[in-house]
């Protein structure tokens, strides 16, 4: 079991390192630029080219049903869910076969509303509650996969 991280803008890397270190999971940090490797866990930095979606493509090609993918990118989440990977957003929200369609539709709607000037801005800043929810979801996913089962999301 590996943890693949869409790392360039990932706000929960410290939480990932903590869970990975405690559970002995390997973390692949996939980025367009060099990042500092953590000392808390077994990790590997993969610097991909600057081509559009290079990090997403690298992760999607390798993620399997025994892996966890951490991303806020809904299109990458969709690709990985279809491959059977466990996918968790940075706020702790899991992406599943049941929820990914709604997430994709919401993404498209928000893009249209931004293009029309109806809404602006981006996502809300990370809260402590988001970080706590993420830690719980990641720990639950790691424990389930290590036990040979899928996580049961609440």
Give the residue from 24, 123, 19 showing the smallest Cα distance to 72.
Answer: 123
DSSP assigned state of 56? H
Domain that holds residue 28: 2-146
Residue segments in the chain with a per-residue pLDDT below the cut of 70 = 100-115, 119-123, 154
For the domain that residue 95 is a member of, what is the CATH number?
Answer: 3.40.50
Q: Is residue 153 part of a domain?
A: no
What was the pLDDT predicted at 92? 92
pLDDT at 49: 86
The verdict on residue 14 lying in a domain is yes
Determine, yes or no, domain membership for 151.
no
Compute the distance between CA of residue 148 and CA of residue 100 in angstroms, rounded to an integer. 23
Structural domains in the chain (count):
1
What is the Cα–Cα distance from 101 to 57, expressed in whole angstroms?
A: 20
Pairing of strands 86-88, 2-6: unpaired
pLDDT of the residue at 85: 96
> Exposure pattern of 102-138 as b/e (b: 16+ CB <10 Å)?
ebeeeeeeeeeeeeeeeeeeeeeeeeeebbebbbebb
In a domain, residue 66? The reply is: yes
């Amino acid at each position: 079991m590996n943890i693949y991280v869409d790392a360039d803008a990932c706000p929960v890397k410290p939480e990932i390192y903590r869970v990975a270190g405690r559970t002995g999971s390997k973390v692949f940090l996939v980025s367009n630029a060099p990042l500092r490797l953590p000392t808390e866990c077994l990790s590997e930095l993969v610097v991909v080219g600057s081509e559009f979606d290079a990090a997403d493509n690298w992760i999607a090609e390798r993620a399997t049903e025994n892996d966890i993918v951490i991303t806020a990118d809904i299109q990458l989440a969709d690709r990985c869910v279809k491959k059977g990977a466990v996918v968790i957003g940075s706020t702790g929200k899991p992406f599943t076969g049941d929820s990914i369609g709604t997430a994709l539709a919401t993404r498209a709607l928000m893009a249209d509303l931004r293009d029309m000037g109806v809404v602006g801005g981006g996502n809300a800043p990370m809260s402590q509650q988001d970080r706590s929810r993420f830690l719980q979801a990641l720990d639950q996913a790691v424990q389930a996969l290590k036990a040979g089962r899928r996580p049961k999301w609440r």
